[in-house]
Amino acid sequence: MAQGLPILVVEDDPNLREAVCDTLELAGQAVVSAPGGEEALRLLSEQPVSLVVSDVRMMPMDGITLLKEIRVRHVHLPVVLMTAYADVDRAVEAMRSGACDFLLKPFEPQALLEHVARYRLPESMDDERVIASDPASRNLFALAARVAQTDTTVLLTGESGVGKEVVARYIHNHSARCDGPFVAINCAAIPDSLLEATLFGYEKGAFTGAQQAQAGKFEQAQNGTLLLDEVTEMPLALQAKLLRVLQEREVERVGGKKPVALDIRLIATSNRDMAEAVAKGVLREDVYYRLNVFPLLIPALRQRLDDIVPLARRFLAEHGARSGRNGLHLAPSAEALLRRYAWPGNVRELENVMQRAVILATGDSVEAEALHLAAPPIAARGRVEPANNAAAPVPVDSPAETSKTDSMRDLEREHILETLAAVGGSRKLAVERLGIPERTLRHKLKQYRDAGLSNE
């Protein structure tokens, strides 16, 4: 009996469509079919599939157009095109447009099955830490599983809080290096003066305070994986040294003379637009091309709606257990509100909301009121209507809640002032790190000055 996500066969010739479907079904594959591109796109909007096998020559929408539409709507879904010998030039165009491969007609059944085995998405994510209920997430982790089998450098991009480290750990855990170390370093969290020694290590006496030699993060990741989180925050001078490490696969400690050969997989992340970072001079172009070998864009949470409630349930269970409230569950009203909210802070914000719900829920059933979310409507998948996406403030009608709100404001003030100090008082750099408009920063600083809480 066929199991798992089906394969979608798109072919306007009914006889060939039936033959391809029969071949796949006899091999134990679940199959759905469509006679054309429009029908295929409608079907893809209704159910997830593991692979699309489509003819190139179809009317009115041909296979190349279908492929490009799939790349927009289902960015990680693998597509294999069937083409005649006379259309080889179009097959080349298809590969450039994102097709995995193509089958040259006429082809043997075994050739079709080999392509299916090579490119179809896995039936499960087989990782308890991964939530991949949405087709976009399943596609993402399918590609992550595929690149995990190689030592290729991976560049993970996406908005802040989408779960880049989760994907990085998934790649490590599904690679041949899974028994080796997974070492992560946040390039934005370490002062520039310390970052070089932290990354590359140092020899005894290399600088004041270096009383003994110390291996850097690159050496610590030997035979494993190194995650360079927020790599675009690395100073330009240090990027030049990083480039040499990427090229030569060896590292030289600060104050050292003997290079150390490296055997690591490198994963880099950024929440910036990488091309824009290069254009602005924040990231060296040669470093970008060294890192951008296998780019993976992680969709925002609002672009993978079917992940929201499963993630919320997991966070509720985890934080409920830590608080001694193991029986908590989401009410239907809460689940509906979670799906309507725009999640500007992505998965990180969702976890914060569920942690707050554990505190505020009055019974075992977490109702919508306990979430304290202002829910702007989501007009369409991946598109958010302009709205105030900030979490609704918790009502402050009790001394305990007033104290909690004051504490949150104190933490916000400390974070803003510490960030400003870390960038030497540059408001331009501060707003980039904080992710807030400069006008908001000016307003906050004025509030702090008026309250006597800052000299800025």
pLDDT at 125: 52
- What does the alpha-carbon distance between residue 239 and residue 250 come to, in Å, rounded to a whole number? 15
For residues 182 and 178, what is the distance between their CA atoms, to the nearest angstrom? 8
The predicted pLDDT at position 414 comes to 77
Residues 6+ away with beta carbon under 8 Å from 290 = 153, 243, 246, 247
What are 162-220's pLDDT values in tens digits?
A: 999 999 999 999 899 999 999 999 998 888 888 988 999 888 877 777 778 888 899 99
pTM above 0.75, yes or no: no
Domain residues of the chain, as ranges?
A: 3-119, 135-297, 301-392, 401-450
Q: Give the C-alpha separation, 227 to 80, whole Å.
A: 32
- Residue 76 and residue 140 in contact, taking contact as beta carbons nearer than 8 Å: yes
Fold match, 3-119 / 135-297: yes
Residue partners of 182: CB distance under 8 A and separation at least 6 = 168, 169, 172, 221, 224, 225, 227
pLDDT reported for residue 75: 66
The rounded distance, in Å, linking the Cα atoms of 209 and 198 is: 14
Question: Judging by DSSP bridges, how do beta strands 29-34 and 3-10 pair with one another?
Answer: parallel
Options 1.10.10, 1.10.8, 1.10.443, 1.10.260; which CATH number does 401-450 get? 1.10.10
User: 238: Cβ–Cβ under 8 A, 6 or more apart, which residues?
Assistant: 192, 195, 196, 199
In sign, the C-alpha dihedral spanning 145, 148, 154, 160 is positive
| CATH superfamily label, 3-119 | Response regulator (3.40.50.2300)
DSSP β-bridge partners for residue 249:
none
Residue 387: the pLDDT is 37
Residue of 425, 413, 422, 419 lying closest to 454 (CA atoms)? 413
Domain 135-297 has CATH 3.30.365.10: no
Class of residue 238 by CB neighbours under 10 A (exposed 0-12, middle 13-18, buried 19+): middle
Summarised one tens digit per residue, pLDDT across range 141-173 is: 888 888 888 999 999 999 999 999 999 999 999
Task: Count CA atoms within 13 Å of residue 11 on its CB side.
Answer: 22
- How far apart (Å, rounded) are the C-alpha atoms in residues 99 and 78? 7
Query: How far is it, in rounded angstroms, from Cα 245 to Cα 252?
Result: 8
Structure tokens that stand for 170 in this block: 């998934």
**Topology of the domain comprising 301-392:** Helicase, Ruva Protein; domain 3 (1.10.8)
Residues 6+ apart with CB under 8 A from 416: 430, 434, 441, 444, 445
Block means of pLDDT (10 residues each) for the chain, 456 residues, are 77 94 93 95 88 92 90 78 72 71 88 86 61 83 86 94 94 92 93 88 78 88 96 92 92 87 96 91 94 93 92 92 89 93 92 93 92 61 40 44 50 77 80 70 80 71
How far is it, in rounded angstroms, from Cα 228 to Cα 217? Answer: 10
